Structure 1
Amino acid sequence: MAKTDSINPVSPARPNVLWIFGDQHRAQATGYALDPNANTPNIDNLAASGMNFARAISGFPLCCPARGSLLTGRYPHHVVPGHEHRLPPEQSTIANVFNDEGYHTAYFGKWHLDGFHERNGRAAMHIVPPGRRGGFQEWIGYENNNSQWDCWVHGGQDDTAFQYRLPGFETDELTNLLIQYIRNRADQPNGEQQQPFFSVLSVQPPHDPYIAPSTQRGRYKPADIILRENVPHIPRIVNQARVDLAGYYTMIENLDYNVGRIMDTLRQTGLLENTHVIFFSDHGDMHGSHGQFRKMNPYEEAIRVPFIVSGEKSFYDGRKTGRTDALLNHVDVAPTTLGLCGITKPSWMEGTDYSAHRLASHPTHPEPDSAYLQSVIPTKHGNSVDRPWRGIVTRDGWKYVVFEGVPWLMFNLNEDPYEQVNLAHNTIYLDMKKKLNDRLRQWIHDTNDVFQVPEV
């Protein structure tokens, strides 16, 4: 493992950090985002007491690449370029940085970074070797699952290795593991300085299959689901979207319930005021918008994710609350997390530190005018775009996406948030298309990516 560029001494004031994230939880599916279907009071409280990054995106809306970027702060074409590709074991992660800074690090839940191919068997039974667990000191997880009531986890090594089936619904049981971890970290001997921790809870819900606890599911009837304005009035699409969303919102409500349990534990242990709680998702889910399902395309429902920094000293000591329009991307999550703890990102991280939007400080570096979007290696699964594409979203509200050598999509999100009017082939907007095309070309160059940009 490569070492970080510098090691800072741990001080008693060093805050803890907790990541909580689900899979395919789109930004629009929360109460604070005014989704009429969503019941998320605990997540809404995080947004009310913290900073809501309302324009946060997942630059590659696919599990493995997004997770590789979350942990490394690097773009997918440098670490995990496609589905079931392995995170290089020699690649340092945010856990290695926190380890060097004297933190205890722990990971609970879905990993999906060991390169196991489902054609070779069920990924839930695949054992991720200790040397390929991202440098986390404690790791209890699984490669991939897609069966929330039959979730197997493993961890340890050699004589301490274990694997077992969680006794209940995945999100509930993984939260139990995290809660026990928090209690153990809080229970330090008298007089002993508490070691700060960085811990991750990664749950598969609300990823399909959209099956959830029946006690909660009864509150979501397919016929009552209010669909987004860009779901076309085609019966098969509307019907599938309604049925899927009934389970989807149930799983989100269950995740919200467990967020509440975690926050209660932090309060009870006295750790909340010294713990940054970061809630987000790896990418979104289309659910019928534009006639599409799942992810792997650049539409808002697939790339926009919730991203909230809350917890630690929410309403005082100068902490900022409210909403920011910063274009935080998946490569920015690790640098921003380190910045919240006063740790400078290592040189191998490519993302931007947006922690100043939460802390009582000013940015020490210029922030990008846009965010880079990619699909490097398509999965060619059903319900996915089967060609590579690249794109950008700009701070002034434009989105531009291309296939190899061919313009594809261009939207003015300020006037068209549901992306119903594609301007990419309208000559009236040629000057804007040239400007966006040039900026995309610059992103490809600056990130050492390889892709043929159209001539405009």
Structure 2
Amino acid sequence: MSHTNKTDRPNVIWVFGDQHRAQALGCSGDPNVHTPNIDNLAASGVNFNRALSGFPLCCPTRGSLLTGRYPHRCVPGHEHRLPEGQPTIADVFNEEGYSTAYFGKWHLDGYQERNGRAAFHIIPPERRGGFRHWVGYENNNSPWDCWVHGGEGDGAFQYRLPGFETDELTNLLIEHIEERGAQRKSGSDQPFFAVLSVQPPHNPYMAPEAFRSKHTPGKVELRPNVPPIEGVRSQARNDLAGYYAMIENLDWNLGRIRDSLREADLDFNTHIVFFSDHGDLHGSHGQFNKTSPLEEAIRVPFIIGGERPFYGRKTGISPALLNHVDVAPTTLGLCGIQAPSWMDGTDYSSHRLPEQASVRQPDSAYLQSVIPTGHGHSVDKPWRGIVTNDGWKYVCFEGISWLMFNLNEDPYELVNMAHNSLYAGKRKELLGKLGDWIERTGDSFLLPAE
């Protein structure tokens, strides 16, 4: 495994929310939300404006984020456990001499919510992904009643956070940053990888009143693909008022994190990677929540930022189709660490670091729903699909085409060409690319004849 000199190696922080779609940012042009801290991160960093979540569902995406492996090879469905013995990005960082820490939502221990509230489920230390410091919870959908646990043996603990989840988990990360800063000043520091994983802006869509007071349903501007059905539009506006308030709260907390890095004198040596596990439909095409291959569900923010030393880092927009399996290899690449062979993804760190050699990028990104949840407002059949570099999307159920869009001219996916004989040749081409992905990744799925 190749790596840079261990002295003064860069730190990395992941900051990610749950169900935060790419479109819901000021820098993405959303008129409903103000995200100055995220926008500043993008302005001084690299904004991957075509990033996506290849399986728009919490557990499978989280498995892929930590392992760089596709869901059918790791966490194939909702409430499935991270496989025993599966190494993670934390294990790689540990081997490289990094301090590793995780704060917040885990959702990888396979706990079945029907057996009781997952917030009270204790995840044993050996199933915390190799992170040396871990304070988190399995799942929680109540941001003012968030219980965390950690430690082991006589040092084990569990308690309820005293305030709003995003604020309190950010406090824990800031304490960790302060500790790293103190170690640096004492000369006994080591590089660190830290993760902040918060449930908001996942439903229920509620936020502290200081943020909620800025948003009212009647003023929400809906996307053009939300149909003129009053029940759909009313629910979308009500949900989005809370959703945008939660995003602005997350943005405020990102600002607090950056302030703490400056105070700890760690800001010029720390990469901040801001993203989400998947998106949220919020009424687009009459649909809600996730598990759909439509743009609002699969597109996610993905920004690599941090202060720029005088020798420079690349800034601007990257059009790369960065997928969920690419997050771990890219993060390792930011620290000059080669991704292990068991990771499936691509290292896109060269889009930020001029000294990194560019790698051959796939011509498309692979989309999956391996095991459906059966939840309301979800797609109840398995599907597979691709998005191509030249702007096409194709998705199918087993044995039958479902969706085909030219995103270049139809970004809101209003014209489905999957069964239009005029585009039979293009459909055949996209089916061929999808078949290559299925074969290359060892997946199993019955494709349409053509």
Matched ranges for 1:45-444 at <5 A: 45-188=40-183, 192-313=187-308, 316-361=310-355, 363-444=357-438
Q: Describe the superposition over 1:348-392 as per-residue Cα deviations: whole angstroms up to 9, x where unpaired.
A: 000000000011146443100000000000001000000000000
Q: Is the 8 A contact 1:10 1:101 kept in 2?
A: no
Q: Which amino acid aligns with 2:415?
A: V
Residue 10 of structure 1, CA deviation: 5.1
Q: Deviations over 1:381-420 (max 9, x none)?
A: 0000000000000000000000001000000000000000
| Matched-pair contact (CA < 8 Å) for 1:7–1:101 | no
Amino acid at match of 1:317: Y
Letter in 2 for 1:78: R
Amino acid at match of 1:338: L
Q: Distance in 2 between matches of 1:253 and 1:33?
A: 14
- Paired residue for 1:451? 445
In 2, the alpha carbon distance for the partners of 1:239 and 1:291 equals 11
Task: Give, in whole Å, the separation in 2 of the partners of 1:297 and 1:175.
Answer: 30
Report the Cα distance in structure 1 between the residues aligned to 2:183 and 2:352, rounded to whole angstroms: 29
Deviation string for 1:104-127 (max 9, x for gaps)?
A: 000000000000000000000000
- How far the C-alpha of 1:269 sits from its partner, in A, is 1.0
What amino acid is aligned across from residue 292 of structure 1 in structure 2? Q
Q: CA deviation at 1:189?
A: 6.9
In the TM superposition, residue 138 of structure 1 has moved relative to its aligned partner by 0.1
Task: Indicate if the aligned counterparts of 2:371 and 2:382 stay in contact, CA closer than 8 A.
Answer: yes
TM-score by length of 1: 0.97
Partner of residue 3, structure 1? none
- What pairs up with 1:30-45 in 2 under 5 angstroms? 30-45=25-40
One-letter code aligned to 2:117? R
* Secondary structure in 2 matching 1:335: helix
Counterparts of 1:129 and 1:211 in 2: how far apart (Å)?
A: 30
Counterpart in 2 of 1:23? Answer: 18
Deviations 1:96-147 (A, max 9, x none): 0000000000000000000000000000000000000000000000000000
Counterpart contact for 1:114–1:132, Cα < 8 Å: yes
2:308 aligns to what SS in structure 1?
coil
**Displacement of 1:193:** 4.1
Q: Shift of residue 184 of structure 1?
A: 0.3
Q: Partners in 2 of 1:182 and 1:200 — Cα distance?
A: 11
Please tell me whether the aligned partners of residues 333 and 339 of structure 2 are also in contact (alpha carbons under 8 angstroms). yes
Question: How far did 1:211 drift?
Answer: 1.1
Local SS of the residue matching 2:274: strand
Q: Aligned partners of 2:380 and 2:5: how far apart in 1?
A: 48
Q: How many residues align?
A: 450
Return 122-131 or 210-219, whichever deviates more. Answer: 210-219
Q: Deviations over 1:6-54 (max 9, x none)?
A: 3757522310000000000000000000100011000000000100000
**Contact 1:402/1:453 (CA < 8 Å) preserved in 2?**
yes
- Measured in 1, the distance between the counterparts of 2:57 and 2:121 equals 20
After superposition, give the CA deviation of every residue in 1:180-228 in whole Å (9 maximum; x if it has no partner).
0000011027552420000000000000000111121111010000000
Deviation string for 1:303-340 (max 9, x for gaps)? 000000000426x4231001010000000000000001
CA RMSD of aligned residues (A): 1.1
- 2-structure distance, mates of 1:273, 1:60: 34
Q: 1:189 to 1:65 in 2, by over 3 A?
A: closer
- With the length of structure 2 as denominator, give the TM-score of the two structures: 0.99
Percent of pairs identical after alignment? 69
Deviation string for 1:207-255 (max 9, x for gaps)?
0000111121111010000000000000000000000000000000000
Q: Do 2:348 and 2:359's aligned partners in 1 also have CA atoms closer than 8 Å?
A: no
Structure-1 separation of matches of 2:354 and 2:2: 23
SS of 1:108's equivalent? strand
Partner SS, residue 14 of structure 2: strand
Quick one: distance in 2 between partners of 1:190 and 1:80?
41
The amino acid across from 2:149 in the alignment is H
Counterpart code for 1:14? R
Contact 1:279 1:307 in 2 (8 A): yes
- Contact 1:73–1:335 under 8 Å retained in 2: yes
* Residue type at the aligned position of 1:139: W
Question: In the superposition, relative to structure 1, how do residues 11 and 362 fare at CA in structure 2: closer, same or farther (>3 Å)?
Answer: closer
Q: 1:444 to 1:145 in 2, by over 3 A?
A: same
SS in 2 for 1:188: helix
8 Å Cα contact 2:18/2:276 also seen in 1: yes
Task: Tell me: CA distance 1:9–1:47, structure 2 relative to 1, closer, same or farther (3 Å).
Answer: closer
Moved over 3 A (4+): 7-10, 361-364
Indicate if the aligned counterparts of 1:89 and 1:131 stay in contact, CA closer than 8 A: no
Gaps of 5+ in 1: 1-5
